[in-house]
Amino acid sequence: MIRLLADENFNNHIINGVWRINPDAEIVRVQDTDMYSKPDPDMLAWAAEHGYVLFSHDYKTIPKFVNRRLEAGLLITGVVMVRDDLPIKEVIDDLLLIIGASNAEEWVNRVEHLPL
């Protein structure tokens, strides 16, 4: 099963909606880890080390740090960028699709943008 890491500013209504439909979805919020308030490069390294696909609304910094990791030949275990103006139900549906129809190996060094 795919493991998801929610960036610390990610909309909790979306996370709760995913859990409501799929209570077994493995989603960890950054604020519930020792990565809370750490710099984005450290969070990306932690996600890679622990096998989490990161999903984030942070278009200002995350893509830049993802590109730096990839250029340096460092692993990312996947990133899903989510515009914060998308309808919540649409994001929930896309995340459920990702959880149900993909595996962790498919996300290595991959970045996707919602909607799918």
CATH among 3.30.420, 1.10.3210, 3.40.50, 3.30.1450 for 3-114:
3.40.50
Instruction: Give the helix, strand, coil percentages of the chain, each rounded to 5.
Output: 45, 15, 40
pLDDT tens-place string over residues 71-95: 999 999 999 999 999 999 999 999 9
Spatial separation of the C-alpha atoms in residues 43 and 47, rounded to whole Å: 6
Average pLDDT, integer, range 28-54: 96
> What global pTM score does this model have?
0.94
Q: Is the dihedral of CA 50, 70, 39, 37 positive or negative?
A: negative
The answer to whether the beta carbons of residues 114 and 80 sit under 8 Å apart is: yes
